[in-house]
Amino acid sequence: MTIGPGKYDDLCTIVREKAKAKGAIVIVIGGDRGGGFSCQFDDLVMMEMVPELLEGVAQQIRKDGVFAA
């Protein structure tokens, strides 16, 4: 869920505050609460950047050849 608290909202808050960031995204795979994510931003306008950011991360992972056979 991108609006409202997520499964790992408490951890996302810690990351955002420790980094003194305007926003943070935490993605958990196989966590004690199952897989999930939480995101927090100073304002919803910042959330508009998230899809492009995640697409860039995916492209970089593919480019790095992490999944190359």
pLDDT in tens, 55-64: 999 999 888 8
Cα separation, 6 vs 53, in Å, equals 19
Contact between 36 and 6 (Cβ < 8 Å): yes
Q: Assign 3-class secondary structure to 35-65.
A: CEEEEEECCHHHHCCHHHHHHHHHHHHHHCC
pLDDT at res. 18: 98
Res. 2: pLDDT tops 70: no
pTM of the model: 0.78
pLDDT in tens, 11-55: 999 999 999 999 999 999 999 999 999 999 988 888 888 899 999
pLDDT at res. 45: 87
